[in-house]
Structure 1
Amino acid sequence: MPNSVYKVIELVGSSSVSWEKAAQNAISMASKSLRDLRIAEVCQMDMHITEGEIECYRIKMKVSFKYQD
């Protein structure tokens, strides 16, 4: 890991099922275009509520990936 450089981006994932699924959705989508994902840090969790029912779970996270030569 010496002399490595990493980029940190922010992602927001959503799911009608759970926060865990929202996080998985974000990572799954990011991994299609980014290589070598390293760390994901959850920054915020919230949900949309409609008429007393949870409509959608959302999770905001910071994700790092290694720059490639």
Structure 2
Amino acid sequence: MPDHTYKKVEIVGASHESIESAVQNAYEKASQSIHKLRWFEIQEIRGNFEDGKPLYQVTMKVGFRLDD
């Protein structure tokens, strides 16, 4: 089996629904341009209020395999 090289980048996802939705939104958008996503690490969870409604924000690092 050949060795592989991986890279991590930081992204931020947001959702009015939940923290899990913020993670899913970030993954779906990132996977459109980053291929072979393998894992994520939550770095920070924060939020704010827009018109009295919470907006969840999740900062995360995602790892992906570089092409051989």
Gaps of 5+ in 1: none
- Partner residue, 1:25: 25
- Runs of 4+ in structure 1 deviating by more than 3 angstroms, as ranges, are none
User: RMSD across aligned C-alpha pairs, in angstroms?
Assistant: 1.7
- Partner residue, 1:67: 66
Q: TM-score, normalised by structure 2?
A: 0.88
1:58 and 2:57 aligned: yes
Q: TM-score, normalised by structure 1?
A: 0.87
> Displacement of 1:54 after TM fit?
3.9
CA distance in 1, matches of 2:53, 2:47: 7
> Which of the two has greater helix per residue?
1
SS of residue matched to 2:35: coil
Partners of 1:47 and 1:54 within 8 A in 2: no
Gaps of 5+ in 2: none
The alignment covers a number of residue pairs equal to 68
Instruction: Give identity over the alignment, percent.
Output: 38
